[in-house]
Structures are given as structure tokens and as C-alpha cells.
Amino acid sequence: METHTDNTPTHAALISSWLETTQLGAPQTHRHLTLFPLLRSVNGLVYQTMGEAFRAGTLQVQEVSSGGSVPDLQAINTAGLPVLLLDGEELRGAKQNRVLNTSILLAAHSKLVVPVSCTESGRWSYSRPDFEDSRMLMSAKSREFKQKRVSENMARVGRPQSNQGEVWARIQEETMNLGGASHTSAMRDVYEQQAGKMEEYQRAFTALEGQCGLLAVLNGKPLGCDLLSRQEAYASVHSKLVQSYVIDALQELPLPKTQDAQSTGPAFMAAARHCTSRSFPAVGLGADVRMDSAIVSGAALVVEHTVVHMSLFAGNASTSPDPAERMQSARRRAESRRRPQN
């Protein structure tokens, strides 16, 4: 896979323009999590989301062979429209659950091997012959860690590979933080156990007309944002994206004094416009643009001068301690939750 020149002017300028012309709606807050709706006009590039394509019966995802390959799956699109597979979306079934390593626009009437990471380390046997939509999206912080490693590997070896060990470590850490359990160490099992709490947040964060994305602020600090090119596509994945940020909120206690989200959100979006970028041929259609700065990192899928999906994060992966130290911290938090409160 050949890389394009660093700081590709057309892609960098396009992304900056999209960020500049995206409006922040009135913030919605529940407890210590604030979500800003991201609003922009409808774009002409038409596609289906993964969930829509599965429901229509036009998308099939399966193991690449009967023996399977942990980092690869085969996706088949029989529809006349492309299908958007989002970075971090989970697929459930076959030999073990996986999440997508990067956002992919799968061409109409096409077959493609897609890069994935395992989110169920305790199973390697068929639960069903193929995959279905798990209706889960990896937590924002875990997506950031995975995205950071994928970006590094794209620059180093030209492939969107994750650090599988780190993905499993993140799932184990979240399991401890949330007090969850799964006999196959499945991310989905642990998230499902939080369904009641998540529903409480979901009711507070409703999708608005004209909404194409969201920006999340937790305890006054930005977590990240996701932006899609089509309002209809965003509406299809709104609940998944909200859940991705709620999972992080459920692992963090509310702080009594935090920075004002009203100023934090716009500042994050402004900072994102000053990232350096590097473009690579995407898996599927378009270009995969990797973005980085001292305080923001992210990725954008650009197809036909359209930013189909962009995800930006606030630097947790570059500043957090190593996995062993994070696991010790997770154990301390779990023990603290089990102690009786006076």
C-alpha cells in the first residue's frame, strides 16, 4: 500500500473546511457527560450504513476461510449502493466477535477483505456461520487507543493493523472498571450488562434534525467527536455513537468542579483544524487520512471530495500510562467500588 505525500493539501484543506462549516448545536447534558450535536447541510454522496445493509439483507460478512483469520474478515455487498462500515463497529458471530480497524466505504456489488480486531478472546469456534450487526460500538477511549496504533502501523508497514494485545487489555480494564463478567471475555457481554444505565443516558441524548455528528465532553474535558456526511446515516448510528461515549462516562465518577463544557467543546473543534495529516489509499473507496497534533488525533475517510466519516479524540492514548499500570489502576478503582460507603 503506497502512501501519499504528508500533509496532502486537498485532503487537509477539505477536512479543515468541513470542521469550520460544522455548527455546534445546543449541548445536552446528563450527569457528568455533555454531548454537542454537530450540524451541517446534507451531502449528495449516498450510501447505506452497516446496520441498514444488514437489515436489508444486502451485506454479508464472514470468515475469510473455514479456519478463519483473526485480523481479517470478508465483506460482500450485493446492493447497488456503497455500505459504510464504521471504525469500531462490532460484528457478532462466526468464530469470535470483531471490531473494524478503520472506516470503510464498501463499493456497490463488491467483495472485500476488511481489517478487524478481536473483542472476544475466550472463543474460537463457530457460534453461527457468518456475522451480524452487534449493535455495539467500541468505547471512545478504546477506539482512540486502537486508532492510534492503526495510524502508526499504516505509516510503518502500510496496513491498518491494531495492537491486538492492547485491544484485549483495554477490554479487560473496562470489564474491571464496570464490574462486569463474560465467560468468553466478550466486550459485548460487559456492555450489555450496563444496558439499564445506558438507557438512562440514551433518553437524555436525542438526535436532532440536521444532526450529522456529536462532540463529547466528560467532566469538563473533551473526549472526542464523530462526524458523518449524511444526516440519514448519522440517525442510523446515533445510538451506537452515544453508547460509545456513555461507556467511558460509566467508568468515571462525576467531579464536583469541572471546566465549562460550553467553552471546552468549541475549543476542541478549533484545535482539530490545526492537525497535520497524512493520506493513504483507503480499504475500499477513497482515502484514509490520519490526523495528529499535540492535543488532537484522528482519522477521516474521504471519498469524492466528501468527508464520509471523521473521528477525533483528545489525546488519551498518547498520555495514558502503559497497559500494566492502567490495569493496576483499574483494580484499585474496582476495589474502591466494593468497599462499603460510610
Three-state SS for 303?
strand
Q: Residue 246: phi, psi to the nearest 5? A: -65, -40
* pTM score above 0.95: no
Query: Looking at the predicted structure, is the pLDDT value of residue 331 above 70?
Result: no
Q: Chain-wide mean pLDDT for the chain?
A: 90
Give residue 268's identity as a one-letter amino acid code.
F
CA-to-CA distance for 58 and 83, rounded, in angstroms? 9
Per residue in 199-249, pLDDT (tens digit) is 999 999 999 999 999 999 999 999 999 999 999 999 999 999 999 999 999
Contact 331, 176 (CB under 8 A): yes
> Does the CA dihedral 218-222-226-232 come out positive or negative?
positive
Per residue in 282-296, pLDDT (tens digit) is 999 999 999 999 889
Q: Retrieve residue 340's grid coordinates.
A: 462499603
Q: Tell me what the mean pLDDT of segment 71-76 comes to.
A: 98
Q: Retrieve residue 164's grid coordinates.
A: 491486538
CA-to-CA distance for 297 and 87, rounded, in angstroms? 14
CA-to-CA distance for 37 and 328, rounded, in angstroms? 35
Instruction: Pick the more confident residue, 335 or 263.
Output: 263
CA-to-CA distance for 252 and 249, rounded, in angstroms? 5
Residue ranges of domains in the chain: 9-318
CA-to-CA distance for 229 and 213, rounded, in angstroms? 9
- Lowest pLDDT segment from 9-13, 157-161, 228-232: 9-13
Written as one string, the DSSP assignment of 89-144 is EEEEETTS-EEESS-EEEPTTEEEEEEEEESBTT--S-SSSSEEEEEEE--HHHHH
